[in-house]
Amino acid sequence: PNAEHQGPAWLDKVTFQTVSEGSVRVGSLISRQVGAIEEIPTEDVQRIKAAGASVVARSAGGIGITLYPNIASPVLSHPEVRQALVIGVNRAEIIEALYTEYDKAATSVVSTTVPDYVDLSAKLAYQPDAARALLERAGWKAGKDGIRSRDGQRLQVG
């Protein structure tokens, strides 16, 4: 909005439609049935650009894609395993492999658009050596197959 604009409205009306299916939203944009869409499926970004539309990225509000550990699990009940997973996962590599240049790795439990957002990048930084050391200190030793185990239990998540 332009608070300084005092003239008549530039548009006669604006209509909002709820279109839950991503491919239908994209098709509607490409066929010019709508003028703008939100929540572009990652796999459709290049198709939209090829059709001559612009793609503008912004942080979504609220909570991003989140994995919640089942702390009742025999493996994930150990805090050192959960911490090792946090710092032992290369988020940038996942983003590069699965998403687009518009997607960013989370830097907190909430989006940057949420009031009182706190940047936790330092605590979430990829530190594979520190993750291995955490597991070693907690007794999770790498076996000949590369899978860690402790007291006969293999470190498997899922």
pLDDT at residue 130, as a whole number: 98
The domain spans of the chain are 7-56, 79-154
pLDDT at residue 1, as a whole number: 59
Strand partners, 153: 150
Tens place of pLDDT for every residue, the chain, 158 residues? Answer: 577 878 887 788 889 999 999 899 999 999 999 999 988 887 888 899 999 998 887 666 677 777 888 999 989 999 999 999 999 999 999 989 988 888 888 899 888 888 899 999 999 999 999 999 999 999 999 999 999 999 999 999 87
pLDDT at residue 59, as a whole number: 66
Give pLDDT tens digits for 67-99: 888 999 989 999 999 999 999 999 999 989 988
Closest CA to 126 of 80, 92, 81: 92
Helix 128-137 vs helix 79-88: crossing angle, to nearest 10: 170
Closest CA to 26 of 14, 15, 38, 16: 38
Please compute Rg for the chain using Cα positions: 22
pLDDT at residue 101, as a whole number: 80
